[in-house]
Amino acid sequence: MEIVAFIVTILCLSSLSSGETGSQESDSKTQPKDSGNSTLIQNDEEERTERGDGMLIEPEPTSPVSDMDNNYNYVLTRLAAMDQAIHRLNVGHYTLDVKVTQLLERISRLDNKLTEMEDSLQQVSLFSKENRKEIGRLEGCQKGRRVGYKCFMVYRVYATYADAAQKCLERGGRMAMPRDRKEQEALAEYVRAVFQPGNWPVWLGINDLRSEGLYLFEDTTRVTYFQWRKHFLSSQPDGGKRENCVAMSSDDGDWWDNYCDRRMYYLCEFEA
């Protein structure tokens, strides 16, 4: 047993000595042989960059870029810019189309409003005309002279025969049309009272515009009673085809034929 223990002891000592010798040889191999090698190692370490986590990153090798690559990249950049511009143009066109549609809708609504307003204005104009006629009729009967179922009113405004006829219609009446002696005498007396002591002719609703010598009232009915002036110096009618409209003298009530475009006062009649 003592011999075995001795042999084990010798083997352990020999193994320990061989391990120390190996470690010394390895250390001698790792040490730099000269200063040139150490300089190269230092330069190599300086070229490395350190990342945030402490690890070193080898720099990537760089290679020169060719003209073809530059042109290709330029074309790609321009195409990308054109694509963005086209996209913005499409967005703007869509926005404009929406606004145009909204504008057309507003114009349509405005047109409907204008149509409604025109209808309202027409109704107001119609009501105004009707009111004016009613006011004219009331005025004619209150301020004029009532004879039977008619009211006569003198208007001291100069007008041609056609204008006088239109104004009488606008007031809700017609030009005065004395149908018989009774109406003629009452009308003559009224006109004489309005203009005395002067003599002012006034238009009546009588003319022979359709046919010479065929005298008609303003409502196209034929005149059957006449009050022409009879005098040895100037018997009426004497105007022939030149004087086709009839006026009445305010002093005696006689009728005279006159030029229809002559301006003078006029008489209107209204239903009582």
DSSP letter assigned to residue 231: -
Under 8 Å CB-to-CB from 184, ≥6 apart: which residues?
A: 178, 225, 227, 253
Instruction: Confirm if 264 and 145 have CB atoms less than 8 A apart.
Output: no
pTM of the predicted protein model? 0.57
Nearest to 131 by CA among 170, 166, 163: 170
In this prediction, residue 23 carries a pLDDT of 43
CA distance 67 to 189: 118
Q: Per-residue pLDDT for the chain (272 aa), expressed as one digit of tens each? A: 444 444 445 544 444 444 444 444 444 444 444 444 444 444 444 444 444 444 555 555 555 667 787 888 888 888 888 888 998 899 888 899 889 998 999 999 998 989 889 888 888 888 887 888 888 888 888 899 999 889 999 999 999 999 999 999 999 999 999 999 999 999 999 999 999 888 899 999 999 999 998 999 999 999 999 999 987 777 888 878 899 999 999 999 999 999 999 999 999 999 88
In this prediction, residue 159 carries a pLDDT of 97
Under 8 Å CB-to-CB from 200, ≥6 apart: which residues?
A: 250, 264, 265
Nearest to 265 by CA among 128, 152, 158, 110: 158
DSSP letter assigned to residue 215: -
In this prediction, residue 16 carries a pLDDT of 47
Contacts for 194-200: CB closer than 8 Å, 24+ residues apart? 194/154, 194/250, 195/154, 195/250, 195/251, 196/250, 196/251, 198/250, 198/251, 199/249, 199/250, 199/251, 200/250, 200/264, 200/265
In this prediction, residue 83 carries a pLDDT of 87
- Runs of H (alpha helix) within 144-199: 161-170, 181-195
CA distance 174 to 166: 8
